[in-house]
Amino acid sequence: MPMRSGNRKRLPIGLQTLSRLMEDGCYYADKSGYAVDLEQTGSYYFLSRPRRFGKSLFLDTLKEMFEGNAALFQGLAAENRWDWTKKHPVIRISFGDGVLQSRAELDERIHELLLDNQRRLGVTCTHTSISGQLSELITQAHQASGQRVVVLVDEYDKPILDNITNQAIATDMREGLKNLYSVLKGADEHLKFVFITGVSKFSKVSLFSGLNNLKDITLDARYSALCGYTDHDVDTVFAPELPGLDREEIRRWYNGYNWLGTSVYNPFDLLLLFDFREFKPYWFETGTPTFLVKLLAERQMFTPTLGQTVAEDTLLSTFDVDIIPPEALMFQAGYLTIDSVWKIPGRQEFTLKYPNKEVQASLNDSLLKHWVGGLSIPGRQISQLYRVLLANDLSALQPLFHAFFATIPHDWYRNSPIAQYEGYYASIFYSHFAALGLDIQLEDATNQGRIDMTVLFNGHVYIFEFKVVNQDATGSALQQIKDKAYADKYRARGEPIHLIGVEFSKDNRNIVGFEVASG
């Protein structure tokens, strides 16, 4: 790891307070202009973004601005656009620390948070109920300061998400939080500004009942880059970090998160890349989505088409303890992002995709381990697959995959419902390539496993057709590639084209046909 020298600043890894960033001389991608825009156009906001995207730092930026700490904003967008003469009391509530496992623990934590705010604001509340305490805190803070109150809520949904696999506890958590947030709807005369943020987007009815003026900016193109780093940030703010790193590879690995506006990078990824100088799945490794992987398997989601998911806007915002569409979970958690949108009167339809190489490779690696019932089974095969493709040794592909399917325990086939449908075989085949982060294109995909998969790698084009047959190979997989002229769209590339037909047998639980031809 190189020593930091010259005009390279400190990397704000793990820092979530603006004052600390400024005092330590860290890099800072200025988001204060967004805060000014929000304050000038409204008062109640909600924002959903994946974990480790800078939500907490933005809330701290809002806090410093409303408290009038002008010295922190010298040279920033807000310096000459904000009224620094007014200082508002700020109530800060965050559920980011620790894991709460019961309603009693949640209520105790809320009491602690409200007490901390009382001490910081110099007021004393006498009410004992949670709703009564928050209402009294808001009123007293307004009266004591003469300025209306700002309420900032961070990780508003974490107590629910931490218990999402236990519906009873998750429901208790939801009701406890609803009891807290419901206070805001009756405190309008005392409130200046409210900003609530978290990972998921629970329905207003379930958590914010009655708070009809809460404006959801999750899919507002103007605020797509409110959290995260843009290409412009990378090329300007972090310019001293770029020498020695492939700029296009940075973009391919970590860019691509989009909420109908400017695409952004996950800050955690970039900061660790600039620190360690190696391309790795830093963000993904901080929280492998075991619940998500299990849910996708239980719903028999066809993995090759996950990166081409189509969903209506109402589906992406439908999330509750007892209603968890996989598409909504993957989008809100950051494993899928918006590729394109089609609008018709009264509704929108989104096509989703993997945001980047990190997510595509890491998620498929996790799915593959779940598909085959073991953590250690796929690793060696994936590495060997890369070597085979690098050498363009097509003769080695069949024995490689035949050996792989043979290593999957028979008990896994017998006990796992996902191994009983045809898409299982194609999903495993596809996920090997996706786990390498290769350039994969799909055409005419169906949820029955009969897909065409094109892999573009190392100056070659590989076109695959998968079929499931009763027992013996028929040769129809390769013939279908020829009959449908799949190779035609790739001829203009001027690269060698390889046609590969793969046939699986559910009876033999393995490949029974593997034919290769030139395109």
Other Cβ atoms within 10 Å of 119 Cβ, number: 9
Region of poorest pLDDT, from 56-65, 380-389, 404-413, 466-475: 404-413
- Which tops the pLDDT comparison, 170 or 519? 170
- Which tops the pLDDT comparison, 444 or 322? 322
Q: What pLDDT does residue 519 have?
A: 80
Does residue 373 have a pLDDT over 80? no
Does residue 445 have a pLDDT over 50? no
Q: What pLDDT does residue 311 have?
A: 86
Does residue 40 have a pLDDT over 90? yes
45: helix, strand or coil: strand
Encode pLDDT of 215-239 as tens digits. Answer: 999 999 999 999 999 999 999 999 9
Q: With bands split at pLDDT 50, 70 and 90, how would you rate the model's confidence at 2?
A: very low
Region of poorest pLDDT, from 97-101, 122-126, 174-178, 325-329: 325-329
What residues are paired with 229 via a beta bridge? 265
What is the third-level CATH fold of 375-518? Trna Endonuclease; Chain: A, domain 1 (3.40.1350)
Does residue 448 have a pLDDT over 50? no
Encode pLDDT of 374-419 as tens digits. Answer: 656 567 788 899 999 999 999 899 898 888 877 776 655 565 555 5
Closest CA to 303 of 397, 400, 429: 429
- Which H or E element spans position 23? helix 18-23
Read off the pTM: 0.89
CATH of 31-218, one of 3.40.605.10, 3.40.50.300, 3.40.718.10, 3.40.50.261: 3.40.50.300
Q: What pLDDT does residue 1 have?
A: 40
Helix H, strand E, coil C: the string for 182-209 is HHHHHCHHHEEEEEEEECCCCCHHHHCC
Q: What pLDDT does residue 288 have?
A: 63
Please spell the DSSP secondary structure of 409-474, one letter per residue: -HHHHHH-GGGGSTHHHHHHHHHHHHHTT-EEEEES--TTS--EEEEEETTEEEEEEEEEESSS--
Q: With bands split at pLDDT 50, 70 and 90, how would you rate the model's confidence at 459?
A: very high
- Residue spans in the chain of domains classed CATH 3.40.50.300: 31-218
Pairing relationship of beta strands 497-505 and 460-469 according to DSSP bridges = parallel
DSSP label of 257: B
- Which tops the pLDDT comparison, 450 or 476? 476
Other Cβ atoms within 10 Å of 511 Cβ, number: 23
- Which tops the pLDDT comparison, 117 or 377? 117
- Residue spans in the chain of domains classed CATH 3.40.1350: 375-518
Q: By percentage, how much of the chain surpasses pLDDT 70? A: 91
Encode pLDDT of 254-305 as tens digits. Answer: 999 999 999 999 999 999 999 999 999 999 988 766 777 777 767 767 777 7
- Report the Cα–Cα distance between both ends of the chain, in Å, rounded: 46
Region of poorest pLDDT, from 124-128, 302-306, 488-492: 302-306
Other Cβ atoms within 10 Å of 339 Cβ, number: 17
Q: What pLDDT does residue 353 have?
A: 93
- pLDDT average, residue stretch 326-338: 90
CA distance 516 to 335: 34
Q: What pLDDT does residue 418 have?
A: 56
Q: What pLDDT does residue 72 have?
A: 97
Mean pLDDT over the full length of the chain: 88
Alpha carbon separation from 297 to 290, 366, 442 (Å, rounded): 11, 11, 21
Q: With bands split at pLDDT 50, 70 and 90, how would you rate the model's confidence at 18?
A: very high
Among 29-43, 338-352, 377-391, 494-508, the range with the most confident prediction by mean pLDDT is 29-43
Does residue 422 have a pLDDT over 90? no
Does residue 486 have a pLDDT over 80? yes
CA distance 187 to 167: 31
Q: With bands split at pLDDT 50, 70 and 90, how would you rate the model's confidence at 80?
A: very high
